[in-house]
Every structure is written in structure tokens, then in C-alpha cells.
Amino acid sequence: MSDELTYDYIHEAFDFLPDWESRYQFIEDLGKKLAPMDDTLKTDANRVHGCMSMVWIKAEPRGDGKVVIHGDCDTSTIKGVVAIVIAIFRDKTPAQILDVDADDRFEELGLFDHLSPTRHVGVYAIVEHVRRQAGDLLAA
């Protein structure tokens, strides 16, 4: 499922779920379903600094000019957030990734209304890490 996970699917699921507790469980389920990240990609260069959890993100170019993003985390909730971030940037070129307003997406989901300030900072660190890697791909 994680290979086809889209932001639209997540947004529809959030709209359907009756309360934050159900949405929180959905986020954890997304984390459990996220495709495993190859251990060779879990390097310091791919580690997201600024998260209390151990998070790794690697954006790589595809043959069609778009980017595939791999991610992993040692906690299920933040791993679910990683899955959401990957879905937000799915099937985009590096330039499109830099143009996406991730804040708008998180606002649509109401995600920041229910995450602790520490997790909020970590989510921004994940998004900025993706943007930095997309910028590197664009410059290459």
C-alpha cells in the first residue's frame, strides 16, 4: 500500500474518520505499512536532525525526472508522519517539491492541532530535509 499512498487518500480518510483518536491510529497504521527503507540508506547524511526520533529520508531521482522518497523512523507515530510527508511529495519533480506548501497540507489535515510542539518541530525538520535534498537534485 505505501507505494501507492497519495495525499488525496489520506485527506479523504481524515475526513471520514470521526475523531482525532481514530486519525492518530490511522497515522500509526500508515507507519506500519510504510515500505521498509534499505539499511544502506540509513546514513548520517540521510538522518533528519531536529527530530527526537531517529528519522531517515532519502530523495532520489527517477528516470522520468520525478523524485522517489524513501523514509523510515524508529517510532510508529512519526513513521506514519513520514508516510504522509512522502505522500505529499509523491510523483513530483525537484522543482515541484520546492513549490509545494506542506503547511497548507498539514493544515488541511488538522495535523498540527493534535501534535505536541516537539513533534511539530520534528515534522518541519522532515519537510526541510526533503526540500534540501530536492534542491540538491535540482542543482545537480
pLDDT at 1: 43
> Residue 121 above 90 pLDDT?
no
pLDDT at 112: 79
Does residue 73 have an active-site annotation?
no
Distance CA 75, CA 54 (A): 8
In a domain, residue 2? The reply is no
For 16-32, what is the mean pLDDT?
A: 94
Share of the chain above pLDDT 70, in %: 98
pLDDT digits (tens, 9 = 90+) for 60-102: 999 999 999 999 999 988 999 999 999 999 999 999 999 999 9
In a domain, residue 97? The reply is yes
Distance CA 75, CA 52 (A): 10
The pTM is what?
Answer: 0.93
Mean pLDDT taken over the chain: 92
As for how many domains the chain has, the answer is 1
The range of the structural domain enclosing residue 64 comes to 7-139
For 18-26, what is the mean pLDDT?
A: 94
What phi-psi label fits residue 71: left (phi over 0), alpha (psi between -120 and 50 degrees) or beta? Answer: beta
In a domain, residue 24? The reply is yes
* Active-site residue, selected from the candidate residues 27, 51, 81, 85: 51
In a domain, residue 75? The reply is yes
For 13-21, what is the mean pLDDT?
A: 94
3-state secondary structure the chain: CCCCCCHHHHHHHHHHCCCHHHHHHHHHHHHHHCCCCCHHHCCHHHECCCCCCCEEEEEEECCCCCEEEEEEECCHHHHHHHHHHHHHHCCCCHHHHHHCCHHHHHHHHCHHHCCCHHHHHHHHHHHHHHHHHHHHHHHC
Who wins on pLDDT, 50 or 8?
A: 8
Share of the chain above pLDDT 90, in %: 77
Distance CA 10, CA 3 (A): 13
Distance CA 16, CA 86 (A): 21
In a domain, residue 60? The reply is yes
> Residue 14 above 50 pLDDT?
yes
In a domain, residue 1? The reply is no
In a domain, residue 50? The reply is yes
Instruction: For residue 3, name the pLDDT band (cuts at 50, 70, 90).
Output: low
The CATH number given to whatever domain includes residue 128 is 3.90.1010.10
For residues 6-23, b (16+ Cβ closer than 10 Å) or e, as one string? ebeebeebbeeeeeeeeb
